[in-house]
Amino acid sequence: MKKFMNGADTFVAESLDGFVRAHDGLVMFGPDRKFIRRTHLKQGKVAVISGGGAGHEPMHVGFVGHGMLDAACTGHVFTSPTPDQVLAAIEACDTGAGTLLVVKNYDGDVMNFEMAAELAQAGGRSVDMVFVNDDVATEAAPRSTGRRGVAGTLVVEKIIGAAAEAGMPLEALKRLGEKTVAATRSKGVAIGGATVPGGARATFALGPDEMEMGVGIHGEPGRARSAFRNAETIAGLLADDVIGDLVAERGRDVLLFVNGFGSTPASELYLMYGALRKRVEASDLVVARSLVGSYVTSLDMAGLSVTLTLLDATGCELWDAPVLTPSLQWGH
């Protein structure tokens, strides 16, 4: 597989180096390049930290900045960061109000972030965690116990990040994070697998008339393979599963987030947004906020996901709050 790289072994490090150089007004490396942090930390604010394997960019490093994350830890491609990376981020970003870790529900992420939290707590720091598990396609999937955390992680990080910026204390932030997770559902579809640097082939192969429903963001195949359909039909399949699992009252406000996996053009994402919005509104939900783009990717996977989050007045206010990160910016 052809990639713009010097070698698979240096791919992640060189990518992160370019990222920090491109956004050096907003972010910087932490000690020993173990993590990427905000250039300017806000004293007395709860630090919000997340992370995961490379290959999902711009998540998580692209969401480091005002109104979102204080730091992000990146592992090898589709591999959790190590506990010492997360511990180093906690120690560097804790300005006195404690730290909240936002963790996608994959076994490796959960284990390593929990270990880092325990080490930090043993050192006298106040640390808590929120686990994101928004993927309706999975109950017991590879790499996770229970549902996976996927594109809904962005929503959780944005809402928690805004509340932390406004001074919300750690215990309340954890409750807010858990409330947001409970109000968020996602599902993905792919028409082509991801190609991992150094790999000889895509993570899974599909025929010209096939699609994969319920894919993960680590190159995992879906829960069902079926004949490829038109956009309206695919939107219906995704929306019905997500809305059905959300069990929302009629008239509720929602955020509709259509996320590309890496190779899907913006024109197709917006086309699918239009089809999905019709399905959502036909279910008597009100699309109060929207986001469309490739924010939680799986390298170059061809596909997309839909995320719905129930929003109350506070949720809308926190979503609208100013954010200034390399990949998400508004209100400034």
In one-letter notation, the amino acid at residue 45 is: K
Give yes or no: 218 in active site: yes
Q: What is the radius of gyration, based on Cα positions, of the chain?
A: 19
Q: Is the separation of the CB atoms in 112 and 83 below 8 Å? A: yes
Catalytic annotation present for 56: yes
Pairing of the two strands 71-77 and 47-54: parallel
Whether residue 83 is preceded by a cis peptide bond, meaning omega within 30 degrees of 0, is no
Rounded to whole angstroms, how far apart are CA atoms 165 and 9? Answer: 37
**Catalytic residue chosen out of the listed positions 23, 60, 66, 218:** 218
| CA–CA separation, 268 and 231 (whole Å) | 9
Neighbours of 98 (CB within 10 A): 20
Q: CA-based diameter of the chain, in Å? A: 57
- Residues 234/148, Cβ–Cβ less than 8 Å: no
What is the rounded distance in angstroms from the CA atom of residue 101 to the CA atom of residue 127?
7
CA angle 301, 89, 172 (to 5 degrees): 90
Task: Report the first-to-last Cα separation within the chain, whole angstroms.
Answer: 41
CB atoms within 10 A of CB 244: 12
* DSSP conformational letter for 63: G
Which three-class secondary structure state does DSSP give residue 86? helix
User: Phi then psi for 52, rounded to 5 degrees?
Assistant: 170, -170
Identify the active-site residue in 23, 56, 60, 66. 56
Measured CA to CA, the distance from residue 131 to residue 57 in angstroms comes to: 20
Residues 6+ apart with CB under 8 A from 313: none
- Catalytic residue numbers read 56, 218
